[in-house]
Amino acid sequence: MTETNILEQFNQMQQMGALDNLSSLKKENIELEKIVADASALIGHSTVDGMREFMISRILDHFIPQYLTFIIEPPRGNHLRQYTYCNLKEIDETMPEKYYLILKEHLAEKKGAVSFTDIEKEMGCSIFCQDFRKFQPDLIYPMHGIGGVYGIVVLGKKFTSDNYNKLEKMYMEKMIRFLSVSIQNSLHHESSITDPKTGLFNYYYFISRVNQEIAHTRRRGPHSGVMIIDVDHFKKFNDTYGHVAGDEALLKLSKELKKCTREEDCVARFGGEEFSILIVDCSPDPLIAVAERIRTATEKMIINFESQKLKITVSIGARIIDSSLAPDATAVKLLEDADKALYEAKNGGRNRARLYASGFLERATFSRNDLLTVEGSQRLAQ
């Protein structure tokens, strides 16, 4: 075939639009390869937080929505989880839950994205008020799992003000399908190891983690620590303000405990008004500092309940995990030691903490009047 014939065929294909189709197919194939790679990386994350952070990082490579909201309904518990981003930066704003219930029902039979414009045409404009419209909704994605829709993703208009193109829509739709399956699997595992009221880890998972940390410390060191935290006069608080107020106090305290610790630490609800924390890679002085941070943060905490501003305090007992542990030491034994220190904190006036130490080690104590004092004593070990 001569160069002239080749050129003629090329011109004919160009006039027929075949080259445009070929170029479009190539772009779609490249995008599908990205989706496969990203989906493989996504399912490697085991937590909901890890998954959504990964999604944000990947979306950033494609476009920037003015708003993006993930609304997730856990398998147990009454509270929806909402994560909202403005220009892909997380913000502390949530949509009213009534809109989730409306959209969940409307999207029950939908498999892919639905434009907010189409939803308004079908349901009417009066349903969605400014408290929803301020998030600039453009596309709504249902999150399907076992049992139906358990969440939605609200994608706001693009930062550049133009419409989402075909490849961008394809990327989001495919990735949200993978995300939906991965998050539900994570939520079901999470529900088996967490307390339904507070969302913190439960007693059994905590005991398992501490036993693992004991084995790790014996092999490699260094120190770690455990704490037991008890709300002071909690029965009196419940009798005075009611159990609903008590639940609000426990929820508020749970969030404060998470703020005062690191991602690698383990915060658990031990039972009732008692909480426990494993602080990894922590020697005595930092353990004392964390306990004091928790105590002072709780003391400053305001619980807003029925136009009242309520307050609580906590007492803390702590115990170091180090390589000198007895061969038969277990998580239960260490928590018994921490509980002895907790008793000393309560016996000393409450709203303070005590660090258990055995043998001839010094015992560090601190209260709200003394940020840090060191006392030589063996009383707790006897």
Q: Which of 42-46, 60-64, 182-186, 375-379 has the lowest mean pLDDT?
A: 375-379
pTM score above 0.85: no
Taking alpha carbons only, the member of 213, 350, 338, 325 closest to residue 276 is 338
Q: DSSP state, 376? A: -
pLDDT band at 360 (very low <50, low <70, confident <90, very high): very low
Helix 234-241 / helix 243-259 crossing angle, nearest 10 deg:
130
Query: What SS3 string covers 143-190?
Result: EEECCEEEEEEEEECECCCCCCCHHHHHHHHHHHHHHHHHHHHHHHHH
Whether pLDDT at 156 is above 50: yes
Taking alpha carbons only, the member of 355, 190, 204 closest to residue 269 is 204
- Mean pLDDT confidence for 326-355: 92
- Mean pLDDT confidence for 344-355: 92
Q: Does the structural domain 203-381 have CATH classification 3.40.50.1820?
A: no
User: In the chain, which segments carry CATH 3.30.70.270?
Assistant: 203-381
CA distances (Å), origin 359, targets 125, 329, 337:
73, 15, 13
pLDDT band at 381 (very low <50, low <70, confident <90, very high): very low
**What pLDDT score was predicted for residue 363?**
43
**What pLDDT score was predicted for residue 90?**
94
Residue 190 or residue 296, greater confidence: 296
Residue 382 or residue 32, greater confidence: 32
- Mean pLDDT confidence for 298-305: 95
Active site residues: 273
3-192: what CATH class? alpha beta
Mean pLDDT of the chain: 86
* CB-side neighbour CA atoms (13 Å) of 280: 17
Taking the alpha carbons of 257, 258, 261, 266 in that order, is the dihedral positive or negative? positive
User: In the chain, which segments carry CATH 3.30.450.40?
Assistant: 3-192
Whether pLDDT at 173 is above 70: yes
Cα dihedral 324, 329, 331, 333 in deg (nearest 10): -110
Contact 298, 311 (CB under 8 A): no
**What pLDDT score was predicted for residue 366?**
40
Contact 354, 344 (CB under 8 A): yes
Contact 137, 156 (CB under 8 A): yes
